[in-house]
């Protein structure tokens, strides 16, 4: 039996430590077809790096960590209602740092930039619920809790889970004024603790294409490919709101402190390489195998100033709202939801 050609391609790209390797083993069919092993190695290298987002992977993961840290900001708190008893509701959020991404088949199989999304349920209670005095000090304090764990909606290739939990206290340091048709909500200070994260994993084989001169190589990768991010956060916020009839607008500023904010990407993939080159008479010919093993990590910023704004429409106890976050590290997020307010 004739010997095989074994090529070890060492990737020295931004964000990957030296020594990370893609191993490509070309079989006899590739040699018999007259393929240049060095060119094949370069093409496979470039194609895998592009589709698996290995180029600048640490920058990509930093962006994912920043988006995750932003995704659930404000989801567990009511900034608009000045409620006297309690509030319950739910919402869905997303956040971007960079270009965003979509998980789908085709040329854009993997993330293109930092993105995170969450769904949560929330409830809040006014600690002055039972106080008889109209201006009792306890009415200045509201306590909130939120959380949810659920599978992430995904396509055929990737699946995963998301989770979040939070607890907040809101204190009205300056009382507002209510003129029935209009109302100023005063000044609120809100602080708390938040924890959130998600995990995405490869569910089935992942076909990755790399163009070569006169044809295409396809690596059918199977094994483990996982992307995860998580963050713990201590937000400190100051906000105010103003209502006209059923419409309320609010505006606030915050400093978000992140004890932890990380993301990670791990891979242990292998599978056959097939090629189609018309001039050489190759059509879906198996040319060898390839394997890839690596891991990399990203981090979020430790301190992030942020401004936020939102609007709410309320009819009776039912309210719908929208919320926008803009952080000073080029991260943007927002959420939409509904509430029952009493």
Predicted pLDDT at 31: 72
- Asked if pLDDT for residue 278 goes beyond 90, the answer is no
Predicted pLDDT at 58: 83
Predicted pLDDT at 154: 62
Q: pLDDT tens digits, residue range 93-135? A: 999 997 654 443 334 555 567 889 999 999 999 999 988 888 8
| CB contact at 8 A, 240 and 251 | yes
Mean pLDDT value across residues 144-161? 85
Predicted pLDDT at 39: 67
Predicted pLDDT at 200: 86
What phi-psi label fits residue 133: left (phi over 0), alpha (psi between -120 and 50 degrees) or beta? beta
Could you state, in order of their start, the residue ranges of all structural domains in the chain? 5-341
Q: pLDDT tens digits, residue range 282-340? A: 777 888 888 888 889 999 999 999 999 999 999 999 999 999 999 999 999 999 999 99
Compute the CA torsion angle 249, 252, 256, 262 (nearest 10 deg).
30
**Full-model pTM:** 0.85
Confidence of residue 38 (pLDDT cuts 50, 70, 90): low
Burial class (CB in 10 A: 0-12, 13-18, 19+), 54: buried
Question: Under CATH, what is the fold of the domain 5-341?
Answer: Lipocalin (2.40.128)
């Amino acid at each position: 039996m004739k010997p095989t050609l074994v090529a070890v391609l060492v990737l020295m790209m931004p964000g990957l430590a030296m020594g990370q390797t893609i191993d490509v083993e070309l079989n006899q069919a590739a040699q018999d077809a007259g393929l240049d092993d060095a060119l094949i190695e370069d093409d496979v290298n470039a194609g895998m790096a592009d589709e698996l987002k290995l180029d600048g992977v640490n920058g990509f993961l930093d962006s994912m960590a920043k988006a995750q840290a932003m995704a659930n900001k404000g989801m567990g708190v009511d900034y608009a209602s000045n409620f006297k008893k309690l509030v319950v509701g739910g919402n869905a959020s997303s956040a971007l740092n960079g270009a965003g991404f979509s998980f789908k088949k085709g040329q854009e199989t993997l993330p293109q930039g930092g993105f995170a999304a969450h769904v949560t349920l929330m409830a809040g209670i006014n600690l002055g619920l039972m106080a008889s005095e109209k201006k009792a000090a306890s009415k200045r304090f509201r306590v909130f809790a939120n959380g949810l764990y659920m599978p992430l909606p995904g396509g055929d290739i990737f699946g995963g889970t998301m989770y979040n939990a939070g607890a907040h206290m809101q204190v009205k340091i300056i009382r507002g004024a209510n003129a029935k048709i209009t109302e100023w909500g005063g000044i609120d200070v809100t602080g708390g603790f938040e924890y959130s994260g998600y995990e995405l994993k490869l569910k089935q084989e992942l076909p990755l294409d790399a163009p070569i001169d006169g044809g295409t190589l396809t690596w059918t990768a199977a094994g483990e490919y996982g992307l995860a991010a998580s963050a713990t956060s201590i937000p400190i916020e100051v906000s105010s709101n103003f209502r006209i009839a059923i419409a309320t607008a609010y505006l606030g500023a915050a400093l978000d402190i992140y004890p932890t904010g990380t993301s990670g990407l791990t891979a242990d993939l292998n599978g056959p390489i097939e090629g189609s080159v018309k001039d050489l008479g190759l059509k879906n010919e198996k040319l060898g195998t390839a394997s890839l093993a690596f891991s990399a990590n990203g981090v979020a910023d430790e301190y992030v100033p942020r401004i936020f704004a939102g609007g709410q429409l309320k009819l009776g106890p039912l309210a719908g709202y929208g919320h926008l976050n803009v952080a000073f590290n080029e991260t943007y997020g927002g959420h939409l939801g509904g509430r029952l307010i009493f």
